[in-house]
A and B are shown apart, each in its own frame.
Chain A
Amino acid sequence: MANLTKTNRRDFLKIAATASGGLFIGFYWSGCDSPKMKVLTNEEILLNAHNFNSYLSISPTGDVVIYSPNPELGQNILTSFPMVVAEELDADWQKVRVIQANLDVEKYERQLTGGSGAMPHSWERLRKAGATARHLLVAAAATKMNVDASTLSTSNGEVIHKESGKKMGYGELVTDASKLTAPEEVALKDPKDFKIIGTPVKNVENKNMFTGKPLYGLDFYREGMLHAMIQRPPFGMKIKSVDDAAARAISGVTEVVTFKNNVAVVGKSTWPLMKAKKLLKIEYEPDGVVESTFDHDRLFAELLNGKTAEVKRKDGDVDAAFKKAAQVITSEYQCPFLSHSPMEPQNFFAHVQGDKVELVGPTQTPDRARNDTAQLLGILPENITVQITRLGGGFGRRLRADFVTEAAELSKMMNAPIKLTWSREDDMTGGAYRPAVRYRFQAALDESGNMIGYKLRGVGINAGNSTRENNFPSGAVENVLIESVEHKSAITTNAWRAPITNFLAYAEQSFLDEVALAAKKDPVQFRLDLLAKAKASPVGELQYDVDRMIGVIKMAAEKSNWGKDANVMQGFSVYFSHRSYVAQVANIEMENNQPVLKKIVAATDCGIVVNPTGANHQVRGGIVDGMGHAMYGNLTFENGLPKQKNFDTYRLIRMKEVPEIDVHYVQNGIDPTGLGEPALPPTGGAVANAIFKATGRRLRSQPFIEQKEFSDIKLQIKRA
């Protein structure tokens, strides 16, 4: 088909897999290519490199190869994991090369991206990996220099004997060092001596990303592979009949196959499949309950008032507290389904050959990809390899492996290597959404405005437990009742960045604003008073650290000049999720009598900040994500099918819609507690509370732009 005259396609598409597995990440931008010094290829380095552990090899040239096991989807783990190893190794960062490791359940634990957990989980083992190798290099140098190891220090890839001024590079020592037995215990650095951690080390993939190198799953091509796309049914429907004649007639389509309620079109390139898929005439019929958004609104009302709910937490006597209350505040909050919509649609490569399978692509859970494929095909997981490409975003969608098993199943059926591509429309209509949820909050206040009772019932569609029952304000209130009701639906749902808390935080923080107002208390002081109570006399189990939460609240108040400027209408919000704490203040100013959202100030406690650039990306990105979806995100259903199918109707936030974001961190020196998600949950509440302060309009449903309370506010967003 293609007749290439200038370039060799194979050369463009080669992704170098190493002998020991994994993808090389070349990240030299410039400068290293000195004409005097030959820069070795990655393969040349690895050929003679000595392997110290699962994370680290060093070559006699002094080049350091660090394996990064967890999938990279923009959280910057491919840069920050190696930084931690290199720190304890005292490596010369200029000589570090990074490899995205393949799935290897023997070498690595928790090789997944989700729950903001990679750094907290791996922090110590990454440090030990570097420190152990450093220890062995020092021991080898002590023998070679004939001095005591305690007289040696390390810096920038060298072992130094201060007294004599002698230095040996790691490359000179690596052959001897790798023969020594690793110590069982090794000393780690005092964080105050960190030289790499805490510095803004650039993303190791910058050059590849900014010059268009093949990095992502969709960029993976294999000689002889077939492309495939799938038409999936509406939720709750099954195929009644398929007329694929028109689709088959499209030039470039080699096969149309119906399997498991799907119709797949297969061919030699992508475009004919996109055309053919539109020409499929598929008739569907109900297969159980077929739902629409209209049904869900009715359902929420029923279940919120229903007699049955799962009690998640009960403290004290809630009925008595509400009976004796001077004031009861009741409020309901609702959110719609959301699509994850990573910029790279779902896709995967699979090649099934007998009882062996090769999988390549973007997954947050390579182990699940492997196990689900093993189960589908009835083969052993050990017979399946998973090569992890870079992910063009994930947001939780790639925790599932549905797109992996589809590719594997088609590869088996077609007896060929298959690259399965979901179109944007497939990605948006093919399921696994942030669940729609409705909450009812109730607070009982005594005559002095103290919250003596707190009730929350959450009703979610395939949301599991829609509450976080042991999170604030639980522990700070004597009488608490937290309940959850789940409605089972054919509409599939999945973890969506900061699962549950991505909306619960907004609802709760808006409600607490309402309660503070009713109690005639300043919203910040109201929260601090509750936390003082939780600290002095905690009620029941607490899953949050009171001092860390107080820390971010005070920092956000201070950095935002909370309450000090009458011309700035501020909204406050604070949330604990995934081990970290973030407080935010949104600032609205009136210009020509119209509200202008100008700034969001964030105070974050995620422990030690490994890479400030990466951390700022996660905080700003989380805020943009939280704000964009609170303002615009809406996926609605009609007869089991999403009405929004692409970015023309499913609105994502754009550049002109983000305010200035001011980022601060609590410096407490504790081990990193994760940052991929925690900045997102507080944002909607901070913005909604500022809008209330500025306009008196309380927004109780998302997306804001579709609420009548919002429609005539004419909120502008402008950066200073």
Chain B
Amino acid sequence: MANYNLRINGNDYNVDVEDDTPLLWVLRDHIGLVGTKYSCGIAQCGACTVHVNGEAAFSCTLPVSSIGSDEITTIEGLSSEGDHPVQKAWDEVDTAQCGYCQAGQIMTAAAFLRKNPEPSMEEIENAMNRNLCRCGTYHKIREAVALAAKLK
């Protein structure tokens, strides 16, 4: 067990966990931020995507010991009122079916658009291809990312 100070969504948290505990489980089991989802646990599906210093990262394979002073943003902290352009676009397009993967999709899209504010459809597809959606909402996700780029 070790003690970690973590900076998440602009707040400070202190947790006692094993060094190898993935950030995903620190968020879910120890801090109560359950918007970040568990699905594969091996960085294959993207449901657990968070931002580490603004970059999209798979939290399921990110040991807490590697975080240090990095700024973590989860879906709960993407915006204060749920009004980030990507969240607004997701609502406008009515993107979800079961919705389980969508927090990860939104986090991937938000990090991508920060770096590439005016993407082509091909760039959108390349960026979003790392996130799985078992319900098959890919058409809507693509549309929502394109709309989010316009909303900014």
Task: Report which A residues bind B (CB closer than 8 A).
Answer: 1-7, 9, 12-13, 29-30, 73-76, 200, 202-203, 205-207, 209-216, 218-219, 221, 227, 251-252, 269-272, 274-275, 341-345, 390-395, 421, 423-424, 613, 617, 620-625, 628, 646-648, 652-656, 658, 661, 719
4 shortest interchain CB distances as A-B pairs = A212-B35, A624-B136, A392-B100, A74-B98
On whether the beta carbons of B33 and A251 are closer than 8 Å, the reply is no
CB pair B41–A423 under 8 Å, yes or no, is yes
CB < 8 Å neighbour of A214 from B34, B39, B83: B34
Output the nearest chain A residue to B103 by Cβ-Cβ distance: A212
Q: A6-B12, A210-B91, A624-B138 are in contact. Are A344 and B37 (CB under 8 A)?
A: yes
Task: Give the interface of B toward A (CB within 8 A).
Answer: 1, 11-18, 20-22, 25, 28-42, 44-45, 47, 74-76, 78-79, 81-83, 87, 90-91, 94, 96-103, 106, 121, 125-126, 128-129, 131-142
**Can you list 24 residue pairs at the A/B interface with Cβ under 8 Å?**
A1-B30, A3-B16, A5-B14, A7-B31, A73-B98, A205-B99, A210-B90, A210-B91, A221-B32, A227-B29, A269-B25, A272-B18, A343-B135, A344-B39, A390-B99, A392-B37, A421-B38, A424-B42, A617-B135, A625-B134, A646-B41, A648-B42, A653-B136, A658-B136
Q: Are A343 and B134 within 8 A (Cβ)? A: yes
Whether B76 and A252, one on each chain, are in contact in the complex, defined by CB atoms closer than 8 angstroms, is: no
Q: A342-B134, A343-B100 are in contact. List 8 more A-B contacts (CB 8 A).
A: A7-B32, A211-B82, A212-B35, A251-B18, A271-B20, A624-B138, A646-B40, A655-B129
A-B contact count (CB 8 A): 216
Given contacts A251-B18, A272-B18, contact A5 B13 (CB under 8 A): yes
CB nearest neighbor in A for B10 = A6
Are B90's CB and A76's CB within 8 A?
no
Instruction: Say yes or no: A202-B91 contact (C-beta < 8 A), given A218-B37, A344-B37.
Output: yes
CB <8 Å contact, B41 and A1: no
Q: Is the CB of A617 within 8 A of B97?
A: yes
State in angstroms the CA–CA spacing of A646 and B43 once bound together.
10
**Given A210-B91, A617-B97, A654-B129: A647 and B44 within 8 A (CB)?**
yes
> B102: which A residues are within 8 A, CB to CB?
209-210
Partner of B18, one of A205, A252, A620: A252
- CB of B138 within 8 A of CB of A344, answer no
Q: How far is the CA of A73 from the CA of B96 in the complex (A)?
A: 11
Name the residue on A nearest B75 (C-beta).
A212
Interface contact B25-A271, CB-CB below 8 Å = yes
A271 with B98: in contact, given A251-B1, A628-B136 (CB under 8 Å)? Answer: no
Are the C-beta atoms of B41 and A274 separated by less than 8 Å? yes
Please name all residues of chain A whose beta carbon is closer than 8 Å to the beta carbon of B44 when the two chains form the complex: 646-648
Contacts of B35 in A (CB 8 A): 211-213
Docked CA distance A271–B28 (Å):
10
Q: Give Cα A5–Cα B37 distance, bound, in whole angstroms.
A: 23
CA distance A343 to B38 in the complex (A): 8
Most buried by A among B29, B42, B106, B137: B29
